[in-house]
Amino acid sequence: MTSFSQNTINALKEAVTGSVVLPEDAGYNEVRKIWNATIDRHPAVIVQCAEAADVPRALHFARQQGLEVSVRGAGHNIAGNAVCEGGIMIDLSNMTRVLVDAAKKIAYVEPGARLGDVDKATQQHGLATPLGINSTTGTAGLTLGGGFGWLTRQYGMTVDNLLAVDLVTADGRELRASEQENEDLFWAIRGAGGNFGIVTGFEYRLHPVGPEITAGLIVFPIAQAKRVLQQYRDYMDTAPEALNIWVVMRKAPPLPFLPEEVHGKEVAVLAVFYAGDPAEAECLIAPLRDFGTPYGEHVGVQPYVEWQQAFDPLLTPGARNYWKSHNFTALNDEALDTMIDFTHSLPGPQCEIFIGMIGGAANRVAANAMAYGHRDARFVLNVHARWDETVQDKTCIAWAREFFKASAPYASAGVYINFMTEEEGDRVKAAYGLNYDRLVQLKRQYDPDNLFHLNQNIRP
C-alpha cells in the first residue's frame, strides 16, 4: 500500500473542500465499500469531493504522486471500477444536488446524485428524463454508458436526453461539452464517458411524466412461460411507445399478492409500465392477463417515484453480483427456450434473467450520432447472478457464463457497456462497433496516457 508523508496529506487536505480519508481512518472501510460485494479493493487515499473544484485538485495530487485513479459516482457499477487498489479514489458520492428549471424543462444534476434524487426533484414539477429502474443507481455512471429505463421507448436513451456536461480532463482542464461546445468530446461522452474525463455536472432534457402512472406486475407459472413470452413479443410489435413491458424470470419472492405456496417457485413476470391516461392503460394491459393463467397480479395507478423504487428490495447493496448481457433485435423461439431452460436451473433465490425492452424512440437515432451506437437493439437481456456467501461464487458465476454462451447464437451484435463485468475488456470494441476507431482517436487527444483506464477501457 502506498504511504504518504504527513506534510503531503496535510497539503491535500488544505487543497480540497471535501474530506480526505486514509486507510487508518475509522470510516475508511465504509467509504471504500461499493454496491457489488465481490469487489474488495483498498485505495491508498480517498478524496470525498464536496464541490466541482475539488476534482482538478484531486487529479493534480494523483499526477504528482503517480497514483492510479478511480472515480466513484454512486459506486453501483457491476464491474467495480469505482474503487482502485493502492491508488486514489475520487469520490463524488456526496455531490448530490439536483436543480430543476421547470420552464425550460432542464435538470442540472451533480455527479453523485442517484436516480431517486433526480426523480424526486423533477417529479415535483411533473417532469422526468429516461433513467434506470433502481433508485439507488448512480445517475453519472448510468448516463455515461448509455442509460435506459421505463421511459426509453417513448423518449430514448438517457444519453439521447443529455444536453451538456461540465468535466475535468486528464490534464486538469475544466471544460463544457455540448452540441455547441467541444462537440467531439460531447459525442464521445455519450456512451464512453468514463474514458475522457470526470464529469462534474450534467444537464438533462425533461419530459412531462406523471406524477402518477400505471404500473405493476403480472406473475405467471414458468410452465406457461413459452406462450406468455411469444404473445408478449408479438404484442409489443404494435404497442404504443408510452407502454413498456419488461420480462423477469426468477424464483417468486414473497410478494403479498401471491399465494404462499407460490413463493420460491420459478415464475415469468411481466413488469408493466404506462405513462398515459389510466383508462387507456387498462385497455392496453387487459390483454396481457389472457397470455396465460396468472398466479397473481398487482397493477394500478401509483406515483412514478414509487414505481422507480419498486425493485430496490431486490437490488440492495452488499450482495455478491455477477452479470452477463446480450442485445437482441428480436426474440426468436430458440432464444426464449434457452431463457426458460436456464430459469429451471437458477442457482439461488436472488438470481434472475430479465429482458428490458428499449425499442422505440432510441431506434430512430443514427448509430453514429454519439458513442452509444446500438440503435438496432430492441431488447437488452441481462443474466443477473446474485448471492450472499463466497462459497456460492463458482456455482453462480458458472451458471451466468453458461447461459451467456448458450444464448449468444440468438443475440445481435454489440453489448450494453454498463452491464459488462471487469473481465470483459475483450468486448469493448464490440460494444462500440463502427464508432470505436473514432473513440480511439479522441482518447489519444484527450487522455493519451490513459489516466482514466479503470473503466471499459478504450486504449489510446
Asked whether 188 and 220 are in contact (CB, 8 A), the reply is: no
Q: Which CATH number fits domain 212-419: 3.30.930.10, 3.40.462.20, 3.40.50.620, 3.40.50.10420?
A: 3.40.462.20
| pLDDT at residue 262, as a whole number | 96
- Dihedral-angle region of residue 84 (phi above 0 means left; psi in -120 to 50 means alpha; beta otherwise): beta
Q: Which residues pair with 208 in a beta bridge?
A: 127
The CA-atom distances, in angstroms, between 454 and each of 70, 71, 119, 426 are: 6, 8, 29, 14
Domain 9-91 sits in CATH 3.30.43.10: yes
Q: Is the pLDDT of residue 245 over 80?
A: yes
Name the pTM for this structure.
0.96
* Alpha-carbon gap, residue 234 to 226, rounded angstroms: 12
Q: Which three cell numbers stand for residue 363?
A: 431506434
Q: With 70 as the cut, is the pLDDT of residue 265 above it?
A: yes
Per-residue model confidence as pLDDT tens digits over 438-447: 999 999 999 9
CB neighbour class for 233 (10 Å; exposed up to 12, middle 13-18, buried from 19): buried
For the domain spanning 98-209+436-446, the CATH number is 3.30.465.10
Q: Is the confidence at residue 1, as pLDDT, over 70?
A: no
Domains of the chain: which residue ranges? 9-91, 98-209+436-446, 212-419
- The overall longest dimension of the chain from CA atoms, in Å, is 71
Q: How confident is the model at residue 423 (pLDDT cuts 50, 70, 90)?
A: confident
Q: How confident is the model at residue 193 (pLDDT cuts 50, 70, 90)?
A: confident
Amino acid 414: pLDDT: 83
Digit-coded pLDDT (tens) for 100-134: 999 999 999 999 999 999 999 999 999 999 999 99
